[in-house]
Structure 1
């Protein structure tokens, strides 16, 4: 990872890995991945991250929700989410980073990665913990050996890891192993693309029409596909994403309400305040006061240290 300052906004970290065939993927320990894997200041990624904590104290804060660490624990962060480690010390375990392009062989994996990042962290039982640790160790060995065909092997192992992690979530109903893959979400490619677009920060035009034009379909067709796949309208999903982005900025930056409004796609700050109060039940100022909002900065560091990332 490397850091890209965004002025007064939340830092965006991009994946910058050692050569490894230039795969948009990396795995290692908290130490070998580097200092930013333990960053104590709010930031977001252009990629997905899975952090499997086997030892340590503190908490993991994801989109303003503070989750105390009780290892073993799998913390999932989807691209675009804001997170940091709160008062963390002695972190040990695995850190796995991957861009969405790495999931093309198993496109349903993007939905699984996001599902893992929407709720509480996964605290596996003893058998699940052994299985996850074994998969991560195998991923690490395959990544470092970099033998012929290793990208396909890594994609297959990551697919298994995501499937098993989602199965282990408390709300996941038990499934027969033979039927598990068939029951996984397989969104229409256009719906998945729409989901990625609305999650991109900093976009000014967030109307349904603008997204439909970018996707090359009519607004009616976009509405039909999104409603069928999610049960919600595109407009509702856009409003939910705008609300989430506004919460992230109010809680993790010192941006003014006018600046937050603009960053969330609102030209009129007064309308933004009415919108936010309707959606959240609080004014932007009340919400910020309740979160103790304010930006935190950490020391500059490369996240994947090439001196320690080599085998």
Structure 2
């Protein structure tokens, strides 16, 4: 974590798992004052904002975006953002955690790319189409009928894919030399296909055709994170998916994500998530049923 970021408040989605679904949608008023915070802050969760009216600006990672609704905005975990002189904000705010993407793991990469170009202005038929899709998400969430969690995931997947189409090429803008960005993009593409070839940074570097040192420099330069951090995220996410969506034993899940020693896998999983694989599997049943999140937690300083 960069030193300059330590003073920036970190907001978490208040999910007393396994009793709550890690997803929320509502107006700026119903989500709460933090949804229009005027001070720089970060999230541990994803935020999608569909602004239908309002004045002011939204600042994301030092880039200032003047409001000219309708606007569709994507904020990914770790990005620093805040509202500047914003008044009369209307629209919908969608909040969800990484665990909510287990049905569509590829959405993580689309969201990461959308976060590089976070503001879009739907025009023509696109604007009412996005408005209808967001309205359906909220209607399903409010109704809370049996099976609504899977419907929410499906609607969210459609929203993310359509936003990616609207954005056109959502890859990060290459730096002046070009090569580091290309290497980083190839690394991200590798991680989008979880398997033995991506469980180690050294294997990824070999497949791309660069040294481990160069891969570290390129990925850190273009994403602000190390390849090791991203690989750990992918291994953890794939392990979660297998624990929730299959009947594989913990030993078998460990082998699928590249751990020959199940005990070492369990230590890795607990370090990355705070709980054991067994605890995550037992809690996932309730988490994926009909429970909704009440609010955002109070801001807190990062550890």
Alpha carbon RMSD of aligned pairs, Å?
3.4
Alignment of 1:101-250 (within 5 A): 101-119=99-117, 121-171=119-169, 187-189=189-191, 217=200, 219-224=201-206, 233-242=215-224
Q: Is the 8 A contact 1:226 1:234 kept in 2?
A: no
Is the contact between residue 47 and residue 97 of structure 1 (CA under 8 Å) also seen in structure 2? yes
| 1:198-241 deviation digits (Å, cap 9, x = unpaired) | xxxxxxxxxxxxxxxxx963x4213235679xxx8233112334
SS at match of 1:140: helix
1:273-292 equivalent positions in 2, closer than 5 A: none
Pick one of 94, 97, 101 that aligns with 1:96. Answer: 94
1:227–1:234 contact (8 Å) kept in structure 2: no
Does the C-alpha gap of structure 1 residues 70 and 105 become closer, same or farther in structure 2, counting only changes over 3 Å? same
Change (3 A) 1:223 1:134: same
Q: In the TM superposition, what is the alpha-carbon distance from 1:126 to its structure 2 partner? A: 2.7
Distance in 2 of aligned mates of 1:113 and 1:14:
18
Equivalent-residue separation in structure 2 for 1:7 and 1:72 (angstroms): 31
Task: Encode CA deviations 1:137-163: one digit per residue, 9 max, x unaligned.
Answer: 111111111111111111100000011
Q: How far does residue 86 in structure 1 lie from its aligned partner after superposition?
A: 0.8
CA change 1:17–1:114 in 2 (3 A) is: same
Does structure 2 conserve the Cα–Cα contact (< 8 Å) formed by 1:191 and 1:225?
no
In structure 1, stretches of 5+ residues that fail to align are 1-5, 173-185, 194-214, 244-302, 307-311
- String of CA shifts for 1:286-307, please: whole Å, max 9, x gaps: xxxxxxxxxxxxxxxxx9379x
Unaligned 5+ segments in structure 2 are 171-187, 226-293, 298-303
**Contact residue 57 and residue 67 of structure 2 kept, 8 A:** yes
Residue of structure 2 in register with 1:70 after alignment = 68
Match of 2:268 in 1: none
CA contact (8 A) 2:41 2:82 kept: yes
What TM-score, normalized by structure 2, do the two folds share?
0.60
TM-score by length of 1: 0.59
Moved over 2 A (4+): 17-21, 186-193, 224-228, 232-235, 239-243, 303-306
Q: Is the 8 A contact 2:28 2:89 kept in 1?
A: yes
Distance 1:85 1:133 in 2: 22
CA distance in 2, matches of 1:74, 1:40: 19
State the distance in 2 between where 1:23 and 1:113 align.
20
Which residue in the other structure is 1:79 paired with? 77
Work out whether residues 27 and 140 of structure 1, in 8 Å CA contact, stay in contact via their aligned partners in 2: yes
1:260-310 superposed Cα distances (whole Å, 9 cap, x missing partner): xxxxxxxxxxxxxxxxxxxxxxxxxxxxxxxxxxxxxxxxxxx9379xxxx
Match of 2:295 in 1: 304
Q: Distance in 2 between matches of 1:93 and 1:86?
A: 17
1:10 and 2:8 aligned: yes
Map of 1:42 onto structure 2 = 40
Query: CA offsets, 1:60-85, max 9 Å, x none?
Result: 10000001000000111011100001
